[in-house]
Amino acid sequence: MPIDKDGMRISRRTLLKLSALAATTPLAAGETLAATTADAPGHAATPAVERVPIALRINGSERRLTVDPRTTLLDALRNELRMTGTKKGCDHGQCGACTVLVDGRRINSCLTLAVMQTSHDVTTIEGFANGDALHPLQAAFLRHDGFQCGYCTPGQICSAAGMLEEARRGMPSHVTSDLAAPVALTDSEIRERMSGNLCRCSAYPNIVAAIKDVAGQA
């Protein structure tokens, strides 16, 4: 049975409750995690991390900002640049809501640091339309009703753009039967290639139809 700091025995259930309480109790305004552990035995205050200036090329424009070097590209876009089209879903690279294009290739922006992208071209959903003229994928998603709540839609569209380029270059997927033949974007190919982008509203049939529409136009 666990023993507390005063030498009293406490039950396992009580220990779990206390642990949960400690994990969910918010810090006071202005208080840092380092401040809460600095006085604990064996713990020293964590030194502040110096913010660094960076320049990102986003949607064709250079954006300068100063960030904590641990800041993800997703958080830099949303919190520092107020470009909230890119969504934060799972924050673990599993849902695809944060998908953007880097040098034309799709990535999960929650899994890369902003400082790693200073020499690359980043395209977010804000960079797809040309003024009032929608990108063909945006127009197709509207035409085929490829969204419901719309939260995953920016990531779906960015991912679809990257996927269409991959198919154009002949990159096979897990379901490609003939590796020597040009890629045919069948329903199964599109579903496989878009499997990293989740839609909680389950608008998948319409998403597939929208992408297939654009692939046919191309």
For 96-132, the pLDDT digits (tens) are 999 999 999 999 999 999 999 999 999 999 999 999 9
* Full-model pTM: 0.78
The more confidently predicted of residues 14 and 163 is 163
CATH class for the domain made up of 136-217 = mainly alpha
Q: What is the pLDDT of residues 158-214, one digit of tens each?
A: 999 999 999 999 999 999 999 989 999 999 999 999 999 999 999 999 999 999 999
Residues of the chain within CATH 1.10.150.120 domain(s) are 136-217
Q: Indicate whether 142 pLDDT > 60.
A: yes
The pLDDT assigned to 38 comes to 52
- Give every CB contact of residue 49 below 8 A, 6+ residues apart in sequence: 68, 69, 70
The answer to which of 3-7, 12-16, 80-84, 94-98 has the lowest mean pLDDT is 3-7
- Average pLDDT value for residue range 140-150: 95
Q: Indicate whether 37 pLDDT > 50.
A: no
- What confidence tier does 133 reach under pLDDT thresholds 50, 70, 90? very high
Rounded to whole angstroms, the Cα distance separating 196 from 210 reads 17
- Residues in the chain, how many? 218
The alpha helices in 97-183, defined as continuous H runs, are 136-143, 153-168
Is the four-CA dihedral 111, 115, 119, 123 of positive or negative sign?
positive
174-210 exposure pattern, b = at least 16 Cβ within 10 A, e = fewer: eebeeeeeebebeeebbbebbebbbbeeebbebbbbb
For domain 52-127, say whether CATH 3.10.20.30 is its number. yes
Residues of the chain within CATH 3.10.20.30 domain(s) are 52-127
The pLDDT assigned to 49 comes to 81
Rounded to whole angstroms, the Cα distance separating 177 from 3 reads 62
- Average pLDDT value for residue range 77-85: 97
